[in-house]
Chain A
Amino acid sequence: MIKLSNDDIKSSVVQRIERISGEDFKKCYQCGNCSGGCPVSYAMDVQPHQVMRMLQLGRVDEVMNANSIWVCVGCLQCYSRCPKGCSVASALEGLRQIHLRRSEEAQKVSEIPVAFLKKAPQQAIVCGFRKLVS
């Protein structure tokens, strides 16, 4: 059973995530278009529309621990197809930034495969550093 309280829903943590991401989570009415169009939703433990719902309900810890934050590729298919103009990608990037600012990173630099560093285009390395490394 889920216990909901005003303290969670109106928590300062949610407000902070809204401020960082620039998203108003209340706009989302759960149509699921984002999860339907998301190319990586199959690999996410919390689906894009569920991310929005959890943020509406103040269930921040569950979202912060979801792998969805790191699996999102930022392709903007969710935003492009959202009838309400929500960007789940921005919400997830906001959460990613909070992790990275706390030095909680998805990729340790010393563990990046040398073959990747030698062969990959520069943009993959730069972008990977910005999204995954703190």
Chain B
Amino acid sequence: MKIPYYPGCTLNTFAKGFDSSARQSAQTLGFELSELKQWNCCGAAFPLTPDNVMGLTAPAKVLANASKDGAEVMTLCSVCYNVLKRTNKVIRDHRERRRVINGFIEEDYDGSLSVIHYLEVLRDKIGFDKVTAAVKRPLKGVKTACYYGCMLLRPFEDMGIDKAEAPVIFEDLMKSLGAEPVEFPNKIECCGAHLAMNNEDVVTRLSGNVMKSAVGMGADIIVTSCPLCQYNLEKSQARVEAETPGYKGVPIVYFTQLLGYALGQDVEGLGFGESKWDARELLKGKVTA
């Protein structure tokens, strides 16, 4: 099974490990990520005002190109998923805005694509039971905090991947790998997002709240599907450690890296970056297979 795949800018550069571990895992599970022939940046932010039609042109171009490669397009990055899925809905449901966008990008796209996330492929097309059957290194005893953040879930009526307030898709995947997901109150809270550019205090506080809440509930590792969440959390962690008595940092990784590890891939090929909080150490210590 070939699935048209939109990597987005960040997975081609900053988050290569997210991309490579996802591709390898797909192969092990019997499907292939077929990268779109032509793609550009999605714009990294869905315009929150209907007035800003110009902000929809970049993702619309991605969708129009993707529609030439198949009936669906899959993403890994939560932000790309959010921007493409919401833009697609606007094009499908608003005739006037569709006309303006198509006129600008010189396409005739109608919004008929289905925009899906890798997690949905695992849940709906492969099945978590099949994932379990392919596990070679069960993540026994690894307490994972599944950090959803904002973009995978909100707004619910547009995203619909799972319940907005109490999602379980991430936890179900982790359970299928043999890990023990821990519940923590901040799993759907924001990391600080683009304020990384000009407001370190806010980012440290928000990311710190997420990490302290996860580690406080016993997490060994935090799992995400968003490169910006990964960056904000990891970057804030040294300061959070220094300012929070008793807080000890944990690795912040992409879910596909744990998936790849559980499926038996070589740990050095999973793209864990150099970090003070090294997931490899944790996994070697916890998982014996």
Contact = CB atoms under 8 A, between A and B. Distances in A.
Contact of B202 (A43, A79, A94, A112): A43
A1 interface: no
A83 interface: no
A128 B43 CA distance: 11
Given A97-B52, A121-B10, A122-B13, A75 B155 contact: no
A124 B228 contact: yes
Q: Which size class do B's interface residues fall under?
A: 35 or more
- Interface band, chain A: 35 or more
A5 interface: no
Interface string B188-229: 011011111111011001100100000000000000000110
Q: Is the interface of A mostly helix, strand, loop or mixed?
A: helix
Contact of A93 (B43, B48, B155, B192): B48
Contacts of A71: 195, 199, 202
Nearest to B196: A124
A104 to B, nearest CB: 15
Interface in A115-134: 116, 119-128, 130-132
B169 interface: no
A131 B51 contact: no
Contacts of A126: 9, 41, 43-45
A80 B14 CA distance: 30
A64 interface: no
27 contacts: A19-B51, A21-B51, A22-B50, A39-B189, A39-B206, A39-B209, A40-B202, A43-B201, A71-B199, A76-B155, A77-B150, A77-B189, A80-B156, A80-B164, A107-B197, A120-B14, A121-B10, A122-B9, A123-B8, A123-B10, A123-B227, A124-B196, A126-B41, A127-B228, A128-B198, A130-B44, A130-B45
Interface of B: 8-10, 13-15, 41, 43-45, 47-52, 55, 77, 79, 150, 154-156, 164-165, 189-190, 192-199, 201-202, 205-206, 209, 227-228, 230-231
